[in-house]
Chains A and B, each alone.
Chain A
Amino acid sequence: MTPAAYTATEGGALLVVAIVLPVIGMLAIFALGLRRAERIAYLVLPVGLLVALAIAADVARSGAAVTYVLGGWQPPLGIALRADGLSVTLMVLTAVVLCAVGLVARGSFSTPPDKAEARSPMVFWTLILGLWCALNTVFLSQDLFNLFVALELLTFSAVPLVCLDGRRETLQAALRYLLFALIGSVLYLMGAALLYGAYGTLDLAGLRLLARNDLATSVALGLMIAGLMAKAALFPLHLWLPPAHAGAPAAASAVLSALVVKAPFFIILRLWFDVAPQPANAMAAQMLAWLGIASILFCSVMALRQARLKLMIAYSTVAQLGYLFLMFPLVMASDAPTAWESVGWTGGVLQLVSHALAKASMFLAAGLIAEALGHDRIENLDGAMSVVPISVAAFGLAGLSLMGLPPSGGFVAKLMLLTAATETANWWIAAAILLGGILAASYVFRVLNRAMAAPASDFACKASIPLYRELTVLGLAICAVVLGFVPLQPFAFLGIGRVGLP
């Protein structure tokens, strides 16, 4: 049985550009050793955004996936890139978040004028571009081994960002992150080896056609899903995430929490819906959902009990990731003709997108608040409202999305998940969604309450924050809110390119 061939579509070359452009920027910053590393990044960021938008427009116009076969070598020998509705959505999301982060990071990672090249700007901008390349590759690649390389690229870009300030705690966090991510990688690779041994291909479409329900496939998928969960930091595998995301500079935390942990989840999604023998396995889906429920409840309580703002947001990330894993049983039990026409699928994807926007905004806002106040102890946030009102407002708006209150993307996402849970009579999942919302509201309001309190008498502002940085953060939060006005039904766009996979 030979898998159907990929046909390169017009405009497919843009997919290559999406992957390679950040690499070019990264190499340029590295090689030129310019006085101001960020300038190159500022050149690459908007172009990358345009490329992502162009691909999205192409997909929307043609109503079909954009495909490119690298070097003209058909999979399984070669590797194909393919942008369907889902991957394009995530690419645009990535570009938007990175551009916003780039703007806000200008204040923290500009090369000082008296130096030829400084460490942290050079490292920050090259790694951010490296991350971008990795993420785009994750979203586009159709080959499990190529995805492995992309995941490694992601890890190598993310880990040094964690310990950019060189303090002992962050070094420790970075090392834990690296080692745990490496176990995840090896488990994933082991699964890939087994799949290759069983099918002689690692191409997603090929595997979809060939997948059998045998021991090798089960073990391979088990290893891969577990490995990816370790990288996605789902409870109880979250040991590395809170210190790493809290220790990184705010701009980096925003990217790590908003985007980086979503990449392994995206691959789980691909494995589950595109590779695993269909119909999918009910028990494994339930297990994923239970881990999600545990993640939501446990880590929300942990977030509620943190003394530090950034640690609180980091725990909230683990909790919000839990919602993503609820979708597996919901999609399975749905009576929609295909996975992507079910409410659960749409809700899950929307949760991914709105959490990314909200969390990026929240971390950036937390960074600005910490810059202005000189600390991020939640108990002492009094007066933040008077110094950085826009950041506090952004924090609140982003909080809406995390709590699942209208109007916000998070609300629509959770509503859809709740609807799916009700329709499929998954009452535990429904209860977890609701309880998680209440807990999220508690930790968000706890911060807002302090931040809006009148400042103490000896209150001093440590740094003044330029308006454009605050407005950028607010912009991201508003994006998350605006997502709340999408219709409450499965979107056709997310299904583009999935109907009739090759």
Chain B
Amino acid sequence: MSLLPDFALMLLILIAAVWTVSARDRRDSVIGFIVVGLLLSLAWIRLNSVDVALTEAAVGGGATGLLLLRACARLGPNETEGVSLKVSLRILTGVLCTVVAVALATIVLYPIEPAPTLAPTAAAHMGEIGLGNPVTVVLLAYRAIDTLLEKVVLVLALIGVWALTPDPLWGGAPGSLRAQHSSGPLTFLAQVLPPVGIVIGVYLIWNGADRPGGTFQGGTVLAAMWLLVMMADLREPPEIRLHTLRRLVVLGPVVFLVAGFAGFWIANGFLSYPPDLAKPIIVLVEAALALSIAVILGMLVAGPAARAPR
């Protein structure tokens, strides 16, 4: 197979990355970053990692991009961007970064042969779970504790963001997500897209059990729809003191934990599943996780409360 498309993609990614770092304007930089994210999704597909590609597109490029764009808008134009550092410092940094890159490149160019892999082991045990997508199996069975703790990370990040609320506003709602120029097309999209998006999201979650797709991707699509609705000013962000909101946030981790502890009784230990029930349990956990992720991502983008509680 020709290397040309890969080479072109690689060049594009690097050019976009250089642009992202070197752009004078903050907004240009963010756009550059979103472009890198999209290109990276393509790269991930070329690396035969479709699940990662979906996650990168949804979370890495999409949600992060949205977050950064909003920050740009809030920051205003007058930040001191171009403080010029000494040339010697720049050269030194350049040299050091190059040394790191050269070391990494050497390792990449002269890898260990044969490549060590866990793929055969992972494949060998797939049958015990009954799911078709190996990545989902790794995420929710083999290395479920990683996934569980990462959900805790998300909840903690949300608490960390909320912690920045000024005291009098605690419990209130985050500021409006409305785009600066609320336009007709956006409103239209916000009215039309969500049903479609929700279907796609649910499909991704359900599908994730056996084919590429899964919790994050589905959850992110759900979150995106919600954010769209909020940005079009059709709905305000909810108050952070709402019990429903809080419970939706913890739903995923709690279901995951319950499933984990259930393993003590119905299988052989924490986070283990009985072979015949594995698939339904995992799908249930995934659904709960996706819902929580959608809420958490949405609230993370929305930021700390900016209005006093009503």
Contact = CB atoms under 8 A, between A and B. Distances in A.
27 contacts: A20-B257, A27-B155, A27-B250, A31-B243, A31-B254, A68-B269, A69-B269, A70-B270, A71-B269, A71-B271, A73-B272, A78-B143, A117-B241, A119-B162, A120-B167, A127-B156, A130-B159, A143-B143, A149-B150, A152-B153, A153-B149, A153-B153, A156-B157, A163-B164, A166-B167, A197-B111, A199-B116
A291 interface: no
Task: Classify the secondary structure of B's interface with A.
Answer: helix
Interface stretch (B24-32, B53-61, B117-125, B225-233): B117-125
Give the top 7 A-B pairs by smallest Cβ distance, nearest first. Answer: A200-B116, A160-B160, A119-B170, A71-B271, A160-B163, A71-B272, A123-B163
Contacts of B115: 197, 200
Interface stretch (B39-47, B67-75, B100-108, B181-189): B100-108
B291 interface: no
A216 B112 contact: yes
Interface of A: 8, 13, 16, 20, 23-24, 26-27, 30-33, 68-73, 76-79, 116-120, 122-123, 126-127, 130, 133, 137, 143, 145-146, 149-150, 152-153, 156-157, 159-160, 163-164, 166, 171, 190, 194, 196-201, 215-216, 219
Contacts of A198: 107, 111-112, 116
B198 to A, nearest CB: 24
A8 B250 CA distance: 30
Contacts of A197: 107, 111-112, 115-116
B146 A79 contact: yes
A77 B272 contact: no
Contacts of B122: 77
A123 B161 CA distance: 10
Contacts of B162: 119, 123
A16 B142 CA distance: 16
Contact of B149 (A27, A78, A149): A149
Contacts of B107: 194, 197-198, 215-216, 219
B253 interface: yes
B167 A219 contact: no
A23 B163 contact: no
B174 interface: no
Contacts of A133: 149, 152
B4 to A, nearest CB: 26
Contact of B142 (A77, A122, A123, A157): A77
Range of interface residues on B (Cβ < 8 Å): 35 or more
Given A30-B249, A119-B165, A215-B107, A156 B156 contact: yes
Given A27-B155, A33-B243, A194-B107, A164 B250 contact: no
A73 B142 contact: yes
A148 to B, nearest CB: 9
A137 B125 CA distance: 26
B246 interface: yes
Contacts of B143: 73, 78-79, 143, 145-146
Interface in B120-176: 121-122, 125, 141-146, 149-150, 152-153, 155-157, 159-160, 162-167, 170-171
A149 B159 contact: no
Contacts of A120: 167
Interface in B259-309: 260, 263-264, 267-273
B106 A215 contact: yes
Contacts, number: 168
Contact of A219 (B104, B155, B271): B104
A113 to B, nearest CB: 16
B118 A77 contact: yes
A27 B243 contact: no
A31 B247 contact: yes
Contacts of B246: 30-33
Contacts of A219: 103-104, 107
A215 B268 contact: no
A157 B156 CA distance: 6
A215 B103 contact: yes
Given A23-B152, A201-B118, A116 B163 contact: no
Interface of B: 103-104, 106-107, 110-112, 115-118, 121-122, 125, 141-146, 149-150, 152-153, 155-157, 159-160, 162-167, 170-171, 241, 243, 246-247, 249-250, 253-254, 257, 260, 263-264, 267-273
A182 to B, nearest CB: 12
B155 A73 contact: no
Contacts of A30: 155, 159, 246, 249-250
Contact of B145 (A33, A72, A79, A123): A79
Contacts of B118: 76-77, 200-201
A255 to B, nearest CB: 15
Contacts of A160: 159-160, 163-164
Contacts of B103: 215, 219
Contacts of B249: 30-31
Nearest to A152: B153
Given A71-B263, A116-B241, A149-B150, 11 more contacts: A31-B249, A31-B254, A33-B243, A70-B272, A71-B272, A71-B273, A78-B143, A146-B143, A160-B160, A194-B107, A200-B117
A123 B164 CA distance: 10
Contacts of B153: 149, 152-153, 156
Contacts of B121: 76-77
Contacts of B267: 72
Nearest to A74: B121
B149 A137 contact: yes
A145 B116 CA distance: 17
A67 B254 CA distance: 25
A414 to B, nearest CB: 36
A122 B185 CA distance: 41
A221 B153 CA distance: 25
Nearest to B111: A197
A483 to B, nearest CB: 32
A166 B166 contact: yes
B295 to A, nearest CB: 12
Contacts of B163: 119, 123, 127, 160, 163-164
A190 to B, nearest CB: 8
Contacts of A32: 246
Nearest to B264: A13
A178 B247 CA distance: 28
B269 A13 contact: yes
A79 B150 CA distance: 15
A262 B107 CA distance: 31
Given A70-B144, A145-B146, A146-B149, A126 B159 contact: yes
Contacts of B156: 26, 126-127, 130, 153, 156-157
B164 A166 contact: yes
A126 B253 CA distance: 15
Nearest to A220: B107
B272 to A, nearest CB: 4
Nearest to B122: A77
